[in-house]
């Protein structure tokens, strides 16, 4: 609660425009895990259909990282692919 209070006070004295003045995006990095999980895969494990998922989310496939892959591993890979 104390940390939120400090943040709230900071925001009152320094509006977003002032805090971001001079900040700019200079590059974008991307990384896509190689593993795929399709709606057909989900149909095998839970009671759903590709059509049901597509109608509600528009998703057909998901990229899934292996369990041993950490978020920092993916961030490092993305940083190596800056453009």
pLDDT the model gives residue 79: 95
What pLDDT, on the 0 to 100 scale, is given for residue 83? 87
Domain ranges of the chain: 24-83
Phi/psi of residue 38, each to 5°?
-95, 165
Running along the chain, 83 residues long, what does each successive block of 10 average in pLDDT? Answer: 50 64 87 96 96 96 97 96 90
Give pTM, 2 decimals. 0.61
Strand blocks (E) in 10-70 = 35-38, 61-64
Q: How far, rounded to the nearest angstrom, does the alpha carbon of residue 83 sit from its chain's CA centroid?
A: 18
Nearest to 59 by CA among 34, 36, 25: 36
Per-residue model confidence (pLDDT) at position 1: 45
What per-residue confidence (pLDDT) applies to 4? Answer: 47
Q: What per-residue confidence (pLDDT) applies to 65?
A: 97
Q: Are the beta carbons of 53 and 42 closer than 8 angstroms?
A: yes
pLDDT at 30: 95
């Amino acid at each position: 609660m104390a940390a939120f209070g400090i943040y709230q006070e900071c925001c009152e004295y320094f509006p977003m425009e002032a805090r971001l003045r001079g900040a700019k995006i200079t590059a974008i990095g991307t990384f896509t895990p190689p593993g795929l999980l399709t709606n057909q895969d989900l149909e095998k494990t839970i009671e759903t259909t590709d059509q049901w998922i597509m109608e509600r989310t528009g998703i057909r496939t998901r990229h899934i990282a292996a369990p041993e892959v950490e978020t920092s591993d993916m961030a490092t890979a993305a940083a190596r692919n800056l453009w």
